[in-house]
Amino acid sequence: MSELLSVDIALDRILGDMNRLPVQETTLDGAYGRTLAEDIVARHDIPSFANSSMDGFAVRSDDVASATPESPIALTVSMDIPAGSAPDRAVRQGEAARIMTGAPIPDGADAVVPVEQTDVNWRDTAHAPLSDRVQIYKAATRGANVRYPGEDVRSGQRVLLAGTRIRPAEIGVLAGLGFAHVACVRPPRVAILSGGDELLAPDEPLAPGKIRDMNSYALAALVQENGGIPVRIPTAKDDLDDIRLRFHEALAAQPDIIISSAGVSVGTADLIRIVLEEMGSVGFWKINLRPGKPLAYGNLGGIPFFGLPGNPVSAMITFDVFVRPCLLKLLGAHDLTQTTEAMVGEDIRSDGRRTYARVKLSHENGKLVARTTGTQSSSAITSMVLADGLLIMPEGTTLATAGQTYPVRILR
Ligand code: AMP
Ligand code: MG
């Protein structure tokens, strides 16, 4: 047990090698999923002018203070204000302006009476002819149905912080504030290698002793999910020259990180070790982690290199534990990962390594309950397919007893 390296110490060492990547100007159309390199400060209010939140009539609230359906107040309709227009005169006492949602509130008016609270019946509101008079059926308080400048965003406000992952709502606010270009962090390029004589591509027919390469595809998707650009390199055979060739190809892709899977466990590490010692320098670690004990880390031609375990679940979990935080650091990105606490619904056993158990989550009697997805074999990829989260059993724990509470890293 004592010779195993702690997850946290290993991660600290690795993160020490990662620095934020440079800034890249990005068009708004290309900004989805990217990470902001700088704070976004509003250049103007949103809304930038007082406007109506309803189709109706802009009025002076004092004029209609006593309006009821039984004794309506009649006003003279003095102008029409469609959205996009700018009223050129004020609403005076006894007057109303027909106004559409989003149109500017004219001077003099301080409230909007929705058309439904008048005698006017617009079928096609925008194109109905303007009537001369309108009967108001309901009092409107000052400010009713008016959206004031800066209600949503104030000029000078720091609306988005550097490190924010740009989602659809962030795109919306950037567009609304006139940012046609945004300073994003250059996405990390990640070269992904698979190795093993048994590996076939997904479109190759199965043959005796062969399996299809899952890791390079799953890892590429994980890279994308975490804001990076994956570059998959063709599979290396268990052959020194082929491994050399593929490692050179990986370097030619000009990556910020190189990930390979398989060939790091005892008994299989020799070929990889030889090539890594020629082309860089790598340590073979035994991590206090389950799944995912073997991990190689160092550099290949000066580029940070991860040798992840070959079993697909181990590859995905070691990615999550070690590579994902590196991508976030390269991006300067806030970690959006959510961890919750869940009650264990059934005993889960492990061997005292920090364990990431694949669990399904459900609500039972108002409590979040975690149950394993079934087999926890590190080769059973469906345990990841089924998992809502990873239940984390800390180092030294061999039994999570039903009823106890543990942290769970939410996967979905
Ligand atoms: P190794 O570390 O090379 O001994 O591989 C450990 C296990 O992971 C073996 O069962 C391999 O067949 C399997 N494995 C290695 N690479 C992949 C891959 N790219 N996709 C799916 N399984 C793999
Ligand atoms: Mg192998």
Residue 181 shares a structural domain with residue 143: no
The predicted structure's pLDDT at residue 336: 84
Total domains in the chain come to: 4
Whose Cα sits closest to atom 11 in ligand 1? 310
Last residue of a domain, one of 330, 363, 385: 330
Residue 242 shares a structural domain with residue 366: no
Residue 11 shares a structural domain with residue 68: no
The predicted structure's pLDDT at residue 124: 55
Residue 266 predicted with pLDDT over 90: no
Which residue did the predictor score with more confidence, 335 or 43? 43
CATH number of the domain residue 283 falls in: 3.40.980.10
CB of 260 sitting under 6 A from ligand 1: no
Note whether 300 and 294 are within 8 A (CB): no
The predicted structure's pLDDT at residue 254: 98
Last residue of a domain, one of 330, 359, 393: 330
Residue 287 shares a structural domain with residue 364: no
Residue 72 predicted with pLDDT over 90: yes
Residue 107 shares a structural domain with residue 59: yes
262 CA to middle of ligand 1, Å?
A: 5
9 CA to middle of ligand 1, Å?
A: 26
Residue 31 shares a structural domain with residue 168: yes
Which residue did the predictor score with more confidence, 41 or 122? 41
CB of 78 sitting under 6 A from ligand 1: no
CATH number of the domain residue 166 falls in: 3.90.105.10
* Residue 315 lies in domain: 4-21+187-330
Neighbours of ion ligand 2 (CB under 5 A): 196, 262, 268
Residue 233 shares a structural domain with residue 276: yes
Residue 312 predicted with pLDDT over 50: yes
CB of 235 sitting under 6 A from ligand 1: no
Among all bound ligands, the one having the nearest atom to the CA of 209 is 1
Residue 310 shares a structural domain with residue 361: no
The predicted structure's pLDDT at residue 130: 79
Task: Give the confidence band of 265 by pLDDT, cuts at 50, 70, 90.
Answer: confident
Residue 176 shares a structural domain with residue 38: yes
pLDDT in tens, 287-302: 999 999 999 999 999 9
Mutate to test the pocket of ligand 1, among 192, 379, 381, 384 (most ligand atoms within 8 A of CB): 379
Task: Give the confidence band of 1 by pLDDT, cuts at 50, 70, 90.
Answer: very low
Q: pTM for this structure?
A: 0.93
Cis check for the bond before 291: say yes or no (omega within 30 of 0). Answer: yes
Last residue of a domain, one of 299, 330, 361: 330
The predicted structure's pLDDT at residue 129: 74
Residue 229 shares a structural domain with residue 326: yes
Q: What percent of the chain has pLDDT over 90?
A: 94
Mutate to test the pocket of ligand 1, among 197, 215, 306 (most ligand atoms within 8 A of CB): 215
CATH number of the domain residue 377 falls in: 2.40.340.10
Residue 368 shares a structural domain with residue 387: yes
236 CA to middle of ligand 2, Å?
A: 10
The predicted structure's pLDDT at residue 122: 76
The predicted structure's pLDDT at residue 272: 92
216 CA to middle of ligand 2, Å?
A: 14
Residue 178 predicted with pLDDT over 90: yes
In the predicted model, what is the mean pLDDT of the chain? 96
Task: Give the confidence band of 127 by pLDDT, cuts at 50, 70, 90.
Answer: low
The predicted structure's pLDDT at residue 141: 97
Task: Give the confidence band of 267 by pLDDT, cuts at 50, 70, 90.
Answer: confident
pLDDT in tens, 84-108: 999 999 999 999 999 999 999 999 9
CATH number of the domain residue 66 falls in: 2.170.190.11
Q: Report the distance separating Cα 81 and Cα 371, nearest Å.
A: 60
Among residues 318, 366, 314, 370, the alpha carbon closest in space to that of 342 is found at: 370
Residue 297 shares a structural domain with residue 207: yes
Q: What is the mean pLDDT of residues 25-32?
A: 98
Residue 151 predicted with pLDDT over 70: yes
